[in-house]
Structure 1
Amino acid sequence: MKIRVITDSAADLPQPCRPEITVLPMAVTFGEEQFLDGVDLAHRQFYEKLIEGDALPTTSQINPTQFEEAFRRAVDEGEDVVAVVLSSKLSGTCQSARIAAEEFPGRVFVVDSENATIGQQILVRRALDLLDQGLDAAAIAGELEREKKDIRLVALLDTLEYLKRGGRISPSVALVGGLLSVKPVIAVEHGEVVMLGKARGSKNGSNLLVQEIRKTNGVDFDRPYLLGYTGLEDSLLQKYIADSAALWAEHTNALPIGTIGGTIGTHVGPGAVAVAFFQRSEP
């Protein structure tokens, strides 16, 4: 039986994807203009509009009908489906997928990634690894449910401004943070975004990011890992890579890098850097 992996554009998968993957786009709205993430709104275009605009854009979840149509196309073509979707605690997209999957018992398996952007993406990439190993759809979904607990996503933000604009912190806190060059470090834990700490200046922020990674069981380099950034250029990410060279030097010559799109970029703004990886399993 052939297998199709379906995800949403919050996973920020680069195009073109492997032929076994279908990406359903989230809608991003700037004022009266609506775009499909990754279809008619590239990541660079998103940040150009975000930086130039006065109001934050909004994003819309994928509805059950869109998932049902995608599931039906796959099943009609003789494929079983593994759907890896944005955390249910961050969006209603997962619930939409589950509702649609009820029409295809035994053929469609929905996995709540409990993550977002590059954290969700490495789970999609892990699904492809398991597909290549010959596992069937049910076994892939079961393994993803087990392994997703090993994923760690940590990020260093460049500014508090977008958290303020989104109403997640007060203007006074954002003002003080800006004056002090405070760089917040956040993570996705149990499907939700949490604040891990704050550092004064990007150098201290990079150090804090490295410290958070060292608190884990270590990066499992046999499973997917990825670095990402928001904005129009990656200079802050390159600085972080230089500052954290000891984490990677003995394991790889080239780090995979991707861009983070509108779903998360709306809330963190440009200039953020993120690392997503599977930590080594407990012995």
Structure 2
Amino acid sequence: MVRILTDSAADFTPAEAEKLGITVIPLNVTFEDGSVIRDSIDMTPDEYYQALSRCKKLPTTSQPSPALFEHAFAQAAAEGDQVVAILISEKLSGTCQSARLGAEMAGCDNVFVIDSTTATLAQALLVRLAVRLRDEGKPAAQIVAAIEQAKKHVHLAAVIDDLNYLRKGGRLPAGVAFAGGMLGVKPLIAVAEGRVKLIGSARGLPGAYVALFKKVEGMGGVNPRFETAAFYTENPREVEPIQTYLTHNLHLSQPHLGQIGCVIGTHAGPGAFAVSFFDPDLTL
């Protein structure tokens, strides 16, 4: 049997993970007082954003320990299963390295570690695709090949309310954050080639949606054969225009809706929302 494993940066809720039959390894968030929470386990996103608003210093995030991966991989090996692990971009986190160390510690040769080169909802779309292939009875090697191909065609574009969260977290250079953070301007970012990049800006919230949808078109448009996703940090109403764009303008199925979790939300900050999709060049 093939097991699909991911990390909490994919922002699945525990209920979603159980329904999909996947294993989620949590990343960590450390507050200024030294207390540590496990992403998606110890706090809900809403609880976390309330705590974040009271922080004088931005919390830090860190990858899971190799021991967590070792346990998951050894358990799978004991039951004769192979593991396809689809993890947050190696350029954003040390999670892939922890997974590889965990596989070495477990002495396992049943593990395939995939650097998704992305995060959050785009990472989740890759995981959902792997689940679909698993449920179709595809072997691990075929799933890995498909995901390695699909990750070249998955896109994530987001509107950020305050780039200082990305700057303070080291995910965006200070000069770029300053240039994109003018008063009244909503910056647009993407995860491209594994890194966070500033891709534009717009004045006001209505302008931000227009700019976001133009970026979607500029990335090649949406492949109707595959699923889409729309996520938010604090306000679920902020993804309603994205739903309308995908379902009414493009006549696509409803996107997967979700809330950006503690780790990614630390860097995205409150007031962020995003869309993810596969472009039309993806064929499997």
Task: Say yes or no: TM over 0.5.
Answer: yes
**SS of 1:149 mapped into structure 2:** coil
**SS of 1:22 mapped into structure 2:** strand
Match of 1:256 in 2: 256
- Label 1:15 to 1:190 Cα distance change in 2 as closer, same or farther (>3 A): same
Match of 1:46 in 2: 48
Match of 1:88 in 2: 90
- Label 1:5 to 1:194 Cα distance change in 2 as closer, same or farther (>3 A): same
Match of 1:62 in 2: 64
Q: Does 1:121 align with 2:124?
A: yes
Query: What TM-score does the superposition give when structure 2 sets the normalisation length?
Result: 0.90
1:131 to 130, 134, 153: 134
Identity %: 40
Pairs within 5 Å for 1:26-37: 26-31=27-32, 32-37=34-39
Q: How far apart in 2 are the matches of 1:66 and 1:19?
A: 20
Pairs within 5 Å for 1:171-182: 177-179=181-183, 181-182=184-185
> How far did residue 164 of structure 1 move?
4.8
> How far did residue 217 of structure 1 move?
2.9
Match of 1:5 in 2: 4
Alignment RMSD (CA, Å): 2.3
Q: What residue identity is the alignment partner of 2:25?
A: L
**SS of 2:14 mapped into structure 1:** coil
Match of 2:150 in 1: 147
Matched residues, number? 277
> How far did residue 176 of structure 1 move?
8.8
> How far did residue 204 of structure 1 move?
1.3
Match of 2:210 in 1: 207
> How far did residue 64 of structure 1 move?
1.9
**SS of 1:84 mapped into structure 2:** strand
Q: How far apart in 1 are the matches of 2:246 and 2:76?
A: 42
Query: What TM-score does the superposition give when structure 1 sets the normalisation length?
Result: 0.90
> How far did residue 172 of structure 1 move?
11
> How far did residue 238 of structure 1 move?
2.1
Q: How far apart in 1 are the matches of 2:282 and 2:77?
A: 37
For the 8 Å contact 1:154–1:187, the answer to whether it is kept is yes
Match of 1:22 in 2: 23
Q: How far apart in 2 are the matches of 1:215 and 1:259?
A: 25
Q: What residue identity is the alignment partner of 1:277?
A: F
Match of 2:103 in 1: 101
Q: Which runs of 4+ in 1 moved over 3 A?
A: 163-178, 239-248
Structure 2 unmatched ranges of 5 or more: none
> How far did residue 247 of structure 1 move?
3.9
Structure 1 unmatched ranges of 5 or more: none
1:158 to 150, 158, 161: 161
Q: How far apart in 1 are the matches of 2:179 and 2:148?
A: 41
**SS of 1:193 mapped into structure 2:** strand
For the 8 Å contact 1:206–1:244, the answer to whether it is kept is no
- Label 1:152 to 1:170 Cα distance change in 2 as closer, same or farther (>3 A): closer
For the 8 Å contact 2:5–2:23, the answer to whether it is kept is yes
For the 8 Å contact 1:150–1:278, the answer to whether it is kept is yes
> How far did residue 112 of structure 1 move?
0.7
2:237 to 208, 231, 235: 235
- Label 1:166 to 1:91 Cα distance change in 2 as closer, same or farther (>3 A): closer
Moved more, 14-23 or 136-145: 14-23
